[in-house]
A and B are shown apart, each in its own frame.
Chain A
Amino acid sequence: MTRLGFDPLLPWPVLAALAVLALAVAGWAAWNGLKGWAFRGLAILAAALALAVPVIQSGIRLALSDIVILLDDRSASQSLPGRPGQTDAALDELTARIEALPNTEIRRVTVGDDDAGSLLGQAMTRAIAAEPDSRLAGVIAVTDGLAHDPAMIPAQVPAPVHVLLTGQPADWDRRLVIEEAPAFAIIGQPVTIRVRVQDQGAVPAEIQGTPALLSLSVDGQVAQSLAAPPDQSLELQFVPEHAGQNVVRVGFAAPQSDPAELTDRNNSAAIQIQGVRDRLRVLLVSGEPHAGERTWRNLLKSDTNVDLIHFTILRSPDNMDPVPVDEMSLIAFPTRELFMERIKDFDLIIFDRYSVRGILPPEYYLNIQHYVEEGGALLVSAGPEMATVQSLNLSPLGGILPAMPTGRVLDGAFLPQLTDEGQRHPVTSGLSGAPTGAEGEDHWGRWLRMSQARARPGAQVVLSGRDDQPLLVLDRVGQGRVAQLTSDQVWLWGRGFEGGGPQLELLRRIAHWSMKEPELEEETLLADVGRDLRVTVTRRTMQDEAGPITITGPDGSQSELPLTEAGPGRFTATWQAPGPGIYQLRDGEVSRVLALGPAAPREFEQTVAGGDAFRAVTEATRGAIMNLSDGVPAVRTVRPDRDAHGEGMTGDWIAITPRDAASVAGLTHRPLLPGWAWLALIAGLALAGWLSEGRARLRGAQG
C-alpha cells in the first residue's frame, strides 16, 4: 500500500494564503505584460508546495481471514428422536462447505442446557461480540429455533444470520400447559388448577380435535380423570388433604397415531402445592382451676395461629354460694353449642383435669367420640380425678381413651422416662433433657403424682412414670387420634422444679401429633432436596429396621436405595437423582412423591421447530431461515449489499459476505523531493522568470 500524503510545516490556511499570493502575483505580472509572469507564479506555488512537504506513505498490509460463527444447539429439545443425527450431519456438511471457501475460518459455539432453558440468544450475542466486526462474514445456527431468551437475540449483526431448523415437516406434538396453579392451599378447601391441552405442528387428521384423557393424581394416587378437548382452558378442582407438600401430577397418555407425537415428556406436569392449615381452633375445657391451667393457656395463646376457646368450670352444681348472680362474673357453659353443634369446627379438644360432674349429658360424650372417630383430635390431661368415680374414663368417652385407670393414685416423686417406643416416636424423640441413664447427666426434673393406669392394647406408651406405669399414651381411634397424660404435673417442668423440662415443646408436639402434622407422623419418609438434585432421604419408623427404599423414576425404572440408621427409629440416606421429573419413593406402606426440577421442563414447551424468534435478525441481515429437512443448503459468497440466500440450480443456497479485512503491520513516510531539490526548483523558476523578462527588456532596448 503506497500513497501520497502531506506533512505540512505550516498550517494549511497559511499555505493557502501563499498560493493565493502566487496567483495574485502571476495575474498582476500578466496584466502588466511581464513575460515571466508564469515563472513567477510557479515559483511561489512551488514554495507553497515545498512548505506542505509532500510525502510518499508506504505501509505493510496483511490480509485477514473471514470468520463464520457456527452455532450448535445441543439443548434438551434438540435431543428429540432424529434431531441429534440431523444436527450432526448438517454441521459436518456445513463445516466442509465453509472450509472449502478460501480464506474462511469457522468458530463453532455449542449451546447446552441451562436451568433457564436454551439461552440461544445469549450465546449468539456473546459469540458475535467475541469476534471483530470487520471480519465477521456470517452466522449460521443449527437449532430447533427454541430460544428462551428472545430478547437477547441481537437486532443488528454486520453479517448475514442464517437459521437452519432441525425437525421434519410432519412433526407434531400435543402438550399440557399449566396456566394457573396455586403454590399454597388451605387444607380441606378446594383449589383450582387451570390447564390446557395444546396441539402444535402438523397434527394428523385422526388426532385433530380429539380430546386427551387427562388424569390428576395426588401423591401418586389417581384422584380424577376427564376428557380435555385441545386448545381449551380447563379448570381442575383439587382438595389438599394434608399439611405440607402435596404433589399433584396432571397428565395424559400419548395419543396413538403415525407419526407419533414428538415427545411425551411435555404431556404431564407436577405441581407442588403446600397445604397449610387455616387458623387452628382449639377447645380447652378445664375441669377446675389448678396450677397447671395457665401452662395450657401459655402454650395455646403464644401461638398466634390458634383461636382458643377456653372454658373453666369455676363453680359446679355442688358449690353453695348465696351471692346474687348479678354480682358474679360467671357465664353458662354453652355445652350444647360446643359439643353438639360446633364440634366439627374444632381441630383439637383438650380436657384438662376434667371430672365428670353431670354438666355434660352422656350423648355429648358420645358425640365427642364420633368427632374423634371421624378424624378429630382429643387430648386428655388427667389429674388425680382420673382415679375416682368422676373419671372421664368412666364416661361414655372412656371407650376411646388410651389409658385405663386402676383407681390408684401414685404419690411421690418420679422421673418421666422415654420408653423404647418413646425413643422412636416423633412426639418424644429428641426432647431435650431426656434421661438416658448415664451417670451425672443433666436431665429434666421430676413430677410428683400420677394416676396408675393400663394402656389399651394397640396404644403407644411413649413416656412412663413411677414404676414404669404409662404416663403419656397415644392411640388412634377411627380416623382420629387421642392422647392421654395420666398426670397433670407437666407444669412443674415449666416452673423449673429441679431444673424443669421441655414442657411447652412436649405439649406442642402432642397437640400437633394429634392434629396429624406430617412432621410428627410415626411412619414417614421425608425428602429434602438440596443443590443439584441431591436428595436427603429420612425414614422415620417405629420398627427396628427400615429400607431399602424403592425409587420409581419418571420413566418407570426402579432402583433401590439402602438406608443407614442415624438414631432410634431414624434411617437416612443421600441420593443423587439422575434428572428432573417425578419420583416415587416407597418403603412398604410409606411412600412419598417427589417432584424434582421445574414443574414442566421448559425445553419441551415448544417442540415443533420454528424460527419465529429469529425472523427479525435474519431479515435485517438478509439471511434466511431454512428447514434442514429440505437438505443442507450450499454455501456461497456474495457482496454485503446483496441478498444472502436464494434458490440455485442444485437447491437452496445461503451466502456469507467476505469482508476483505486486513491489518496494517507498519507505515513509512518518505519525502517526495529532498530539500535541496525544492530549493533548486524554486530558484530555477525564479531565475527563468527573471531571465525571460530581462532578455525581453534587453531586446526592446536594442530595437
Chain B
Amino acid sequence: MIRLLLAIAVVVLSLTAPLRAQDGDPDPRLVRAADEVALAYVVTGDPRIDEGSEAGLRGLSGELIRRTTVRPGEPIGIDLDQDDLSLLTFLYWPVTDDQPAPSPQAYVRLNHFLRSGGMILFDTRDGDIAGLGGPDGQASLQALAAPLDILPLAPVPHDHVLTRSFYLLQDFPGRWQGNQIWAEAPRADATAVEGVPFRTLNDGVSPVIIGPNAWAEAWAVDRRGNPMFTVGSGFDGQRQREMAMRFGINLIMYVLTGNYKSDQVHVPALLDRLRGEEGIR
C-alpha cells in the first residue's frame, strides 16, 4: 500500500515538475555516477538478479580500472520509476519474466536518455535457449522495450566497432556464447562511406545493445574478487570468462568513445594528406 501511494506521488510530482526540478541537491548516488562514470543497472526487484547485476558491474569496473584508463566508481542500482537518468552513461538492464513495467514517466526519461547519448544493454540472460535467434523472441523483453523510441535493429556485424574498441573480438560471450547480439541498424542511406559507418549527430553510436548471454553473471565477482558464477568448465571456461570480460571492456569503451576506433582507421590517411599538402607548399 505504501509502495502504491509512493508510486502515485512520484507520478503526480513528475507531472507537475517535469525534468526541471532544481530544488536542492541531486541524488548523491547519481552525482557520483556523473563524476566517476559509475556503471548502473536496473533494479528488477528480484534480489538474486539484482545482486548478480551489481556484482557483475563491480567485476567489470575492477577490470576496467586494472586494464584501462577508465576509472568507474561503485556500481549504482537504478529505480527507473524514481531516478533521473540524465546523469548516467551506461545502464545494464537484465530482463526477467516477472519484472513490473516502468511507469510512463520512466519511459519518457528512458527515451530522453537514449536520445541524448546514453546506452542500455538489454540482457535476456537465457542464452537464447528457445533458439528464436531474434531480439523480439522473448515476450518480457518485447513488453519492456516496446515503448522505447528505438530505430530498427540489426545483428551486430562482424566488423562493428564493438569488435575492436579495445580488444579484437569475434564473439561477445557471457555465461553463454555463440549467440547473435543486436544493435540499432545503420541507416541505409549513410552506410559505407569509406568504411565509416555513418555520420549522425550521435556519432553513429547505437543507443541499445540486446543479447541473451547473461554477461553480468560472467563478470560477477564477490567482495574478495572471486568469481561468483561458474562459466563453462576447465580451461575453456576460464577463456570464456576472460572473453566475456573483454567484451565488457569493449562495450564500455564503445559507450564512452563511440566510433573513435572506427575513425582511427582514417588517421594514417589524414596524416598522409597533411604530409602531401606540405609537399605542395
Contacts and interface: CB of A to CB of B under 8 A. Distances in A.
Do A and B assemble together? Answer: yes
Interface of A: 281, 286-291, 293-295, 297-298, 301-302, 304, 307-310, 312-316, 319-321, 323, 326-331, 334, 337, 342, 345, 384, 411-413, 442, 445-446, 448-449, 489, 491-492, 494-500
A287 B273 CA distance: 25
B112 A496 contact: yes
Contact of B26 (A297, A308, A323, A413): A413
A498 B22 contact: yes
Interface of B: 19-22, 25-26, 31, 34-35, 37, 66-71, 84, 86-87, 89, 112-113, 116-118, 164-168, 199, 201-203, 205, 246, 252-253, 256-261, 263-264, 267, 270-271, 273-275, 277-278
Given A291-B34, A323-B246, A489-B34, A494 B116 contact: yes
A319 B25 contact: no
A497 B87 contact: yes
Contact of A413 (B25, B89, B203, B260): B25
18 contacts: A289-B252, A291-B34, A294-B202, A297-B203, A298-B203, A302-B199, A307-B270, A310-B260, A314-B257, A319-B69, A448-B34, A449-B34, A449-B35, A495-B116, A496-B86, A497-B86, A497-B87, A498-B26
B199 to A, nearest CB: 6
B66 A320 contact: yes
A564 to B, nearest CB: 37
A328 B264 contact: no
B265 to A, nearest CB: 10
A342 B271 CA distance: 8
Contacts of B199: 301-302, 304
B203 A329 contact: no
A316 B69 contact: yes
Given A294-B258, A315-B68, A413-B25, A329 B87 contact: no
A308 B25 CA distance: 37
B257 A293 contact: yes
Given A315-B68, A494-B116, A328 B168 contact: yes
Contacts of A297: 203, 257-260
A581 B213 CA distance: 75
Nearest to B274: A345
Given A449-B35, A495-B86, A293 B67 contact: no
Contacts of B89: 291
A569 to B, nearest CB: 28
A637 to B, nearest CB: 74
A498 B84 CA distance: 9
B271 A328 contact: no
Contacts of A312: 257, 260
A498 B20 contact: yes
B34 A499 contact: no
Contact of A315 (B31, B37, B69, B86): B69
Nearest to B69: A288
Contacts of A287: 69
Of B246, B257, B259, B273, most buried by chain A (CB within 10 Å of CB) is: B257
A413 B19 contact: no
A608 to B, nearest CB: 46
Contacts of B68: 289, 314-315, 319
A442 B118 CA distance: 25
Given A308-B263, A310-B267, A498-B21, 15 more contacts: A286-B257, A289-B253, A293-B256, A294-B117, A301-B203, A314-B68, A314-B257, A319-B67, A323-B246, A328-B167, A342-B271, A413-B25, A448-B31, A449-B35, A498-B19
B37 A291 contact: yes
A499 B19 contact: yes
Contacts of A411: 31, 35
B69 A314 contact: yes
A329 B261 contact: yes
Contacts of B20: 442, 498-499
Contacts of A286: 257
User: Which 4 A-B pairs rank lowest in CB-CB distance, beginning with the nearest?
Assistant: A289-B256, A329-B164, A288-B69, A497-B86
A118 B1 CA distance: 91
Given A319-B67, A495-B118, A294 B203 contact: yes
Contacts of B260: 293, 297, 310, 312
A320 B256 contact: no
Contacts of B86: 492, 495-498, 500
Contacts of B37: 289-291
B263 A323 contact: no
A291 to B, nearest CB: 4
B167 A334 contact: no
B256 A494 contact: no
Contact of A291 (B201, B246, B256, B261): B256
Contacts of A442: 20
Contact of B256 (A294, A331, A345): A294
Contact of A290 (B116, B168, B256, B270): B256
Nearest to A284: B260
Nearest to B71: A288
Contacts of B116: 494-496, 500
Contacts of A492: 34, 86-87
B239 to A, nearest CB: 12
Contacts of B270: 281, 307, 309
A281 B267 CA distance: 12
Contacts of B259: 297
Of A287, A313, A331, A384, most buried by chain B (CB within 10 Å of CB) is: A331
Nearest to B200: A302
Nearest to B278: A345
Contacts of A446: 22, 26
B67 A331 contact: no
A364 B251 CA distance: 33
A289 B89 CA distance: 12
B257 A342 contact: no
A496 B112 CA distance: 8
Nearest to A313: B69
A589 B16 CA distance: 54
